[in-house]
Amino acid sequence: MGSTIMDVAKASGVSASTVSRVLSDHPRISTETRERVLAAVEALGYRPHSAARNLANSSTKTIGLILNAEADQFVRNPFFIGAMSGISQLAQAHDYNVMYAFNPKEKEELETAVRFVSSHAVDGIILFTSRTRDKCIQYLLKQKCPFSVIGRPDNAGNILWVDNDNFQATYQVTDLLLARGHRTIGFIGGPDDLNVSRDRYDGFRRALAVHGLHAAPAHVFCDGGFTEVYGNACMKKMLDNPDPNLPMPTAVVTADDLQAIGALQALRERRRNDVAVVGFNNTELAVYQQPALASIDVNAAQLGYHAARLLINALETSPSTEDHVIVPTNLVERDSLNVPIPAR
């Protein structure tokens, strides 16, 4: 247990530096000694001591994850674990380790970042965030610590990030609904101070505009949260709209599965099965709705994978040309889209 490079050196009759060279694939090493050294490494079960290596290299081959959400969110949102899985996959492929720290409170995020960076515990950081004016981003930029962000940051200039094309996601699904004959489509969105909310709404609106349509103000909701309660309330407002000149929506696009689930509840309560509903995030809840909820999958694992890829790339090579990745979303069709095709 715990043999050092010196043990290997002695066992193979060479010096420590030679062993080091063999292990780092140094070009000018004779095949013969290489084999002898490798044999000794094998025999002794030698593995470089990471702390010693880190110290000598001043690099840790470790990336740090800063997770920032309420505890509830973590548990409910498969996004986090999905992204962490993608990160782990890429990191292992490049011989990197991954550290993480949950930060229940916003203040702690920065503390964690400071801890990771100033103690040289990690070579780079992945931020799970899309918060406006993120303190961590400011700090990391100032420290010149390499990092990548999951979720397009406000000021994306000169920073590595990965995100979905939220505009296209709702654009496409809206376009699909239009192609299927829907002409009156509602929208339930998120708080409009978030990038994602705006992008999703814009995609919806644009798809309609291309067909020369637009949604009635009474059919558009952008002032609530990603909750069932909000989704339920919005759906009911649409169903209960008193204006006789306003046709009822035959389809509703939402910005989150929870909103969509609330909308489905409202439809069930009103005994209606003639309104198509589509969610966002494709949580595991979707499958268990009645009807099963069609939803836009964000490919969390890929988001994580590419966030790690961009970061490690930046760590290992000169400034890369690639500074962001757009991960495609894909619509998972389920029964909630199967409604009678509206008459044209």
Partner DNA sequence: TTGTATGCGTTATCAG
Partner DNA sequence: CTGATAACGCATACAA
Segment near DNA (CB under 7 A); pick from 19-27, 141-149, 215-223, 323-331: 19-27
**68 touches a second copy by CB under 8 A:** no
Q: What's the 3-state SS for 79-134?
A: HHHHHHHHHHHHHHHCCCEEEEEECCCHHHHHHHHHHHHHCCCCCEEEEECCCCCC
The entry of a second copy, DNA, none near residue 139 (CB within 5 to 8 angstroms by kind) is none
Site string for a second copy, 13-42 (x = CB under 8 A): ------------------------------
Residue nearer to DNA on the CB measure, 36 or 180: 36
CB of 19 to DNA, least distance (A): 7
DSSP letter at 13 equals T
Distance from the first to the final alpha carbon of the chain: 77
**52 touches DNA by CB under 7 A:** yes
Q: What is the H or E stretch that residue 332 is in?
A: strand 330-332
The single residue listed with the structure tokens 């978030």 is 194
- Nearest alpha carbon to residue 305 among 148, 165, 123: 148
Kindly tell me which residue out of 25, 45, 58, 271 binds DNA, with binding defined by CB under 7 A.
Answer: 58
Residue nearer to a second copy on the CB measure, 133 or 144: 144
* CA–CA separation, 233 and 239 (whole Å): 10
CB of 9 to DNA, least distance (A): 7
The structure tokens listed for 178 are 């239009």
Judged by DSSP in three states, 146 sits in coil
The entry of a second copy, DNA, none near residue 30 (CB within 5 to 8 angstroms by kind) is DNA
**83 touches DNA by CB under 7 A:** no
Kindly tell me which residue out of 97, 227, 241, 273 binds a second copy, with binding defined by CB under 8 A.
Answer: 97
Q: What is the H or E stretch that residue 279 is in?
A: strand 276-280
**33 touches DNA by CB under 7 A:** yes
Binding site for DNA (CB under 7 A): 2, 4-6, 13-21, 23-24, 26-30, 32-34, 46-49, 52-53, 55-58
